[in-house]
Amino acid sequence: MQIDRKLLEEIISDHDRLVFDHIPTEYLSDALGHLHGEADALLFPKSTVEVSGILRYAYENHIPVTPRGAGTNLVGSTVPIKGGIILDLSRMNRILELDEDTMTAMVEPGVLLQDFQAYVEQRGLFYPPDPGEKASSIGGNISTNAGGMRAVKYGVTRDYVRGLEAVLADGSILNTGGKQVKDASGLSLKNLLIGSEGTLAVITKCLLRLVPKPEASVSVLVPYGDLQTGIQSVLSILRADVAPTAVEFMERKVVALGESFSGIKYPRPDAGSYILLTFDGHRDEVEANLQRVRELVLGDGAMDYIVLADPRQAADIWRVRGALVKAVEAVSEQWPVDIVVPISQTARYIRFINELEAVSGMRMVSFGHAGDGNVHLCVVRDGRDEAAWQEQLHRNMEKAYDKAYALGGVASGEHGIGIEKRPYFLGETPSENLLVMNRIKDALDERHILNDQKSYITGGPKNAEVI
């Protein structure tokens, strides 16, 4: 593929924002680095006009484009499998406006979640979406509809996007949504773009909804003898009208890996599992909910109820939770799963996984967002050679995804489909749904330049012969 370097240099005038040779390998992959692609150019636009110019050029010349935020996805969605251009949005990282009256903020897509959360919290406001990887970008969070720890109370990224500016594949600029709260005016294009994994457009501005910062936030660690008792207890917590902000579950075996990785110890190492809860809101309300849940969980068979009143201890406990994927990766290659089932089926699903682990002899450590049924499994490679790993992994994952769908679940709660989850997602999704998704792709990007053959895309460009 011939890239017109001169023309791209006219669109992006600072030469340090274009890389044509020796593209660093981390830009050719995702957070896990298992899959790598190749690219002819790595571009760092700084404005919507530059993004538009690049896409117009790519579209006219049928050049594949892989949009990229912070590259923290776990599903291969930033791997440039078709070559062409990597469009890295990380330099578009300004917070453009904070409107305290409408409680909204306008940001560029490359702003990191951790920076944005700190910025608004210093001003008494709060941005609730909270995926485990805080060094991810807002544009990436929107493109994957990131979920995370606080979804059980506050919802997911989609619930905090009021409007978007996005550049379509042909370079035209779309504005959708706005500061108004309600909108019943035609199709919601904003919602179509959220979670579309860079397949429909490149997001260049994000209008985000904020809420007042809660007065108090307290976490509690609840150890249980086994995971099943812990997961059953979550249902009583959810039914009790105590509005937990986070309800995470972790098996002791994965916490032990997190402890070795971080050097931080959890109390009650004799537990088989833990539920980690947070309550936020007005101080009195938090105190009352803490008390109520104490009685509930001890009645449900919890071994203890450890209120993490010291903020440093709470931060340490959460740090271990946030590092679990990396902790497993540190001991062996692993394959992360983020299946989501109805919350009433979580215990059943985890029981199935434990049985699958026992029968298959393949380590599967589980943790995740118990409050919303989002089960994170790390399927561990251990000493298997490549052929055995691939064969056993896919044989067992077919069973794991079949079971999830049979229980009314879906392939991904928050990580997206990318490349890695395609076989399971495509195999389980009704053909009518896939057809509609592919028609939408054709309508917005008929030349399939944006992230082609990822996620739901099964068809090819409409006029394939010119490629």
Ligand X SMILES: Cc1cc2nc3c(=O)[nH]c(=O)nc-3n(C[C@H](O)[C@H](O)[C@H](O)COP(=O)(O)OP(=O)(O)OC[C@H]3O[C@@H](n4cnc5c(N)ncnc54)[C@H](O)[C@@H]3O)c2cc1C
Residues within the interface to ligand X (CB under 6 A): 31, 67-74, 77-78, 89, 109, 131-133, 136-137, 139-141, 143-144, 146-148, 197-198, 202-203, 325-326, 414-415, 451
Give the contacts of 161 (CB within 8 A, at least 6 positions apart). 142, 177, 190, 194, 206, 207, 208, 209
Closer residue to ligand X in complex, CB, 25/431: 25
Min dist CB 397 to ligand X, Å, is 19
Min dist CB 77 to ligand X, Å, is 3
Would you state the torsion angle of the CA atoms of residues 121, 124, 128, 134, taken in this order, to the nearest 10 degrees?
0
Min dist CB 465 to ligand X, Å, is 27
Closer residue to ligand X in complex, CB, 18/85: 85
Which two structure tokens, joined as six digits, stand for 438?
């592919």
Closer residue to ligand X in complex, CB, 214/336: 336
Alpha-carbon distance 325 to 379, whole Å? 11
Which two structure tokens, joined as six digits, stand for 377?
């499994």
Per the CB < 8 A criterion, the answer to whether 259 and 199 are in contact is no
What's the distance, CA 277 to chain centroid?
Answer: 20
Closer residue to ligand X in complex, CB, 120/325: 325
Min dist CB 218 to ligand X, Å, is 21
Alpha-carbon distance 58 to 138, whole Å? 24
Min dist CB 134 to ligand X, Å, is 9
Beta-bridge mates of residue 410: 340
Give the contacts of 236 (CB within 8 A, at least 6 positions apart). 296, 297, 300
Closer residue to ligand X in complex, CB, 17/268: 17
Alpha-carbon distance 159 to 174, whole Å? 20
Closer residue to ligand X in complex, CB, 144/346: 144
Min dist CB 386 to ligand X, Å, is 23
Closer residue to ligand X in complex, CB, 141/334: 141
Alpha-carbon distance 46 to 108, whole Å? 9
What's the distance, CA 151 to chain centroid?
Answer: 12
Closer residue to ligand X in complex, CB, 146/207: 146
Alpha-carbon distance 228 to 225, whole Å? 9
DSSP conformation letters of 260-280? HHH-PPPS-TT-SEEEEEEEE
Give the contacts of 211 (CB within 8 A, at least 6 positions apart). 103, 125, 126, 128, 154
Closer residue to ligand X in complex, CB, 92/356: 92
Measure Cα distances from 418 to 36, 73, 158, 293, 415 in Å.
13, 9, 18, 39, 8
Per the CB < 8 A criterion, the answer to whether 132 and 147 are in contact is no
Closer residue to ligand X in complex, CB, 280/452: 452
Alpha-carbon distance 313 to 319, whole Å? 10
Closer residue to ligand X in complex, CB, 296/418: 418
**CB atoms inside a 10 Å sphere around CB 272:** 16
Measure Cα distances from 261 to 164, 331, 383 in Å.
39, 9, 20
Closer residue to ligand X in complex, CB, 79/237: 79
State which residue has the least CB distance to ligand X. 140
Min dist CB 156 to ligand X, Å, is 8
Alpha-carbon distance 447 to 168, whole Å? 12
Min dist CB 440 to ligand X, Å, is 15
Min dist CB 133 to ligand X, Å, is 3
Min dist CB 387 to ligand X, Å, is 27
Min dist CB 361 to ligand X, Å, is 26
> Which spans in 300-345 are helix H?
311-322, 324-331
Min dist CB 289 to ligand X, Å, is 23
Alpha-carbon distance 31 to 329, whole Å? 11
Alpha-carbon distance 287 to 305, whole Å? 14
Least Cα distance to 3 among 23, 30, 31 occurs for: 23
